[in-house]
């Protein structure tokens, strides 16, 4: 299965660059990569995409610690949107706090919690999780 549109929400330009390189290297991810530096910018733009029926991300890589609106605040607001299409959120964070991992399980949209850095091997696992959850309609 191919993921056509991916969204990266992270304020770290090095992580964003590295993730783009990995996504471009892995042929199972399409060329459409959307990047936002914080949750507020992402929520505003994704809401507009949803209203205009443009390509909406199938996978979102979300950082937790960002300025203006952090990942938790983004998830709280993003969960309120009427998503006709299923979007899988993968939290990608430098946090190793078990409380963060436990908190992420409270959100139906969150497919998994990944500790940084994101590697090619982990990206392949994301694709497998995306495919299996899309087929089972679990989320």
pLDDT tens profile 69-115: 999 999 999 988 876 567 889 999 988 889 989 999 999 889 899 98
- Mean per-residue pLDDT over the chain, rounded: 86
What's the rounded Cα separation, in Å, for the pair 127 and 130?
Answer: 5
| pTM of the shown model | 0.89
Q: State the Cα torsion 31-1-105-68 to the nearest 10°.
A: 10
The CATH number that applies at residue 19 is: 3.40.50.2300
Give the residues across from 59 on adjacent strands.
6, 88
Domain count, the chain: 1
Q: Which of the four pLDDT bands, split at 50, 70 and 90, describes residue 124?
A: confident
The domain of 123 spans 3-136
């Amino acid at each position: 299965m191919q993921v056509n549109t991916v969204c990266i929400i992270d304020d770290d330009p090095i992580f964003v660059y590295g993730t783009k390189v990995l996504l471009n290297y892995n042929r199972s991810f399409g060329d459409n990569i959307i990047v936002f530096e914080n949750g507020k910018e992402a929520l505003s733009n994704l809401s507009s995409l949803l209203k205009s029926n443009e390509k909406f991300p199938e996978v979102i890589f979300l950082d937790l610690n960002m300025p203006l609106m952090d990942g938790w605040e983004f998830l709280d607001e993003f969960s309120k949107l009427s998503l006709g299409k299923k979007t899988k959120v993968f939290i990608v964070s430098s946090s190793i706090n078990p409380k963060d991992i436990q908190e992420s399980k409270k959100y139906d949209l969150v497919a998994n919690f990944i500790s940084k850095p994101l590697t090619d091997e982990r990206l392949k696992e994301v694709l497998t999780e995306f495919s299996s959850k899309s087929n089972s309609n679990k989320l």
